[in-house]
Structure 1
Amino acid sequence: MGILGAKNKVIAGDYPDGKIMISGGKVVLSISLGNMVILNKKMVAAHKVESEVKGNHKISITFIDGKRSLLELDDKLCKALLEQLF
């Protein structure tokens, strides 16, 4: 990952610095050791692509419980997340 590489984590809002990864074919938010949230239609009420610059995607998500996070994702994670939320 170069300087322009996406962080693949929460950069603002709830769950700061939570890591976003693919686990078992699902996109998950790792909040702390053993505490993960699967980012799918059951957990995410709404999402919006805020910006896309050279493989660096910022996506805001609103969880079912009303919490909100801004994610910074690379191309692979962004594509996987959008497929799960469609």
Structure 2
Amino acid sequence: MSSFQIENQRAVIDIRERVLKGEHPRREIINFVKSAPVGTIFEIHLPHRGEPLVATFQSLGMNAIVNEIEPAHFRLMAIKLNEI
């Protein structure tokens, strides 16, 4: 289990290695997002676009943007605007 931390209202979470090992930390990430304070900016690094995670963020009422940083390195950005 990873430990996620928030510094200056920003949470940077790099799960590329875990996903490539076959792990699926989606529930862990969502629980962290739910417990984070409103206004937190989430930056999640993935080895692929992470469409299921984007869909989950959207179902929670959050907008999520994904950018390809380089091959096999994507960054999902989202801001928690309301309590979930």
TM tier, shorter chain? 0.3 to 0.5
Higher share in helix: 2
Structure-1-length-normalised TM-score? 0.33
Hey, which of these two has a bigger chunk of strand by percent? Answer: 1
